[in-house]
Amino acid sequence: MRFMDPDANDHPKEACGLYGVYGSPDVVPLIYRGLFAQQHRGQEGGGIVVSDGERVQSVKGTGLITDVFAKREARELSGTLGIGHVRYSTSGSTRPQNLQPLVARMIDGIWAVAHNGNLVNAEKLRRSYEESGAIFQTGTDSEVLIHLLADPRFRQGSPRVAGALAELSGAYSLLLMTKDCVMAARDPWGFRPLSIGRIGDAYVFASETCAFSVTGATHERDLEPGELVIVDKNGLRSHTIPGPPVARKAHCVFEQVYFARPDSTVFGRNVHLVRVELGERLAEEHAVEADIVCPMPDSGNSAALGYSQKSGIPLNFGFIRNHYVGRTFIMPVQDERSASADMKLSIMPEVVRGRRVVVVDDSLVRGTTMKRRVIDLRGAGAKEVHVRISCPPIAHPCFYGIDFPTREELLAARGDVSAICDFIEADSLGYLSEDGLLAPFENRGDYCTACFTGDYRVDPSGATGKLSMETDRLLFNLSAEA
């Protein structure tokens, strides 16, 4: 059996965090703190667009949101409404033109768009507009929405934005903005989270509720799948995006397993408590005699706690994480991810020496980082190493916003559990079952599990590769070097 490049990293990669505000005297510090709280969702770059009701201003840049807001022009921003974005690219390269929010001048003024998710029909829509003479500036799927909004077919409709959104297929949570209005929308399947909050009379929107607490906002509710919310001087209005009814929702279960911060409420459930329950069920399904349970920090912490509580095996910290290295899954270049993965964790020999160790992690995508960790544990004197994963084997690609689009990247698509266990050199390996994964959720049929089962709720046949819309390679290379 042939496995992946040993420099690959284990974890899945996801796209983007959103934060928007309408009706605050100064939205800039609120959006900064809201994006900072969601930095785990993307570290390639970020941006903010604000308006005082007349003038629209925008600042974007690569790196962390602290780097973006350190720019002189960012300190000069002011406004009463605005939207912000932190990015991990699942569509388009890392060149600056692809940073969001995207801003465009249309016949009726400035529009800005910030997107989390992946559109499976973006290339088809783009080709149609290009054949009609449209010019695209980015390699992202999000830009097709700019052209839909500018299209006279939808510009003359009511409500205009809902008609444009009905043309999209795939996963999207969106914030949109004009000089005097903020809008928020979720696709009819509800793949990605998006919530509404309040700060006094101001409305706020965020991908994760953890961004509300740091900005003093109260969580009012989640946007419904297929809902478009418009906030302006007349207050908040809700519209339904037109289209055929969706029989089953498709909430991304990986938001609960890995992506979201533990202190967020996602799809109605606290993330930490869900992960603890997953760990408990993992202990029931894959018990083993051992001396300590060690989480793979930080994403394995909650599941490891659950495993320890259910099994009675003491929890201890065999790995210590250097938090200044960052989350390696968001780094776009493979050698950067690999070097960072090795830098961010160190072994505690005093904890693992002579002991039978259960390592709990949230997922196993490529397996090579886990292999290195198992070898490191043995080198530090661990007597046995048993690996437990709090989700099922990932055997199918995702087309809705997770950056592992080919089966060749997936370890579980190339061998059974026994072969994977041999590859990572563990004494045993246990994955949580699909039933165990969905057990914490009341409406378990409303969760997307396509990466485990291959059951795609939205036809992915129109989906293309991450760089498929980077049509001008010379422009791409020059921009990347710049």
Please list the active-site residues: 16
| SS3 (DSSP) at 351 | helix
Provide the 3-class DSSP secondary structure of residue 150: helix
**Residue whose C-alpha is closest to residue 428's, from 417, 439, 413:** 417
Name the phi and psi angles at 4, rounded to 5: -80, 170
For residue 298, whether the previous peptide bond is cis, meaning omega lies within 30 degrees of 0, is yes
Q: What's the CA gap between 415 and 411, in Å, rounded? A: 7
Query: d(Cα 348, Cα 393) in Å, to the nearest integer?
Result: 28
Q: Considering only CA atoms, which of 104, 89, 90, 14 is closest in space to residue 46?
A: 89
Specify burial of residue 1 (Cβ count, 10 A radius: 0-12, 13-18, 19+): exposed
User: DSSP secondary-structure letter at 255?
Assistant: I
Q: Which amino acid is at 55?
A: R
Positive/negative CA dihedral, 129, 130, 133, 138: positive
Distance between CA atoms of residues 16 and 84, nearest Å: 10
Q: Which residues contact 247 (CB under 8 A, 6 or more apart)?
A: none
Helix (H, G, I), strand (E, B) or coil at 223: coil
Q: Which two tokens stand for residue 148?
A: 């839909």
Token pair listed for 418: 């026994």
Which residues have a Cβ under 8 Å from the Cβ of 481 and sit 6 or more positions away? none
Q: Match 């072969």 to its residue by tokens.
A: 419
Structure tokens at 140: 């992202």
Residue 235 vs residues 56, 202, 219: alpha-carbon distances, Å: 20, 10, 17
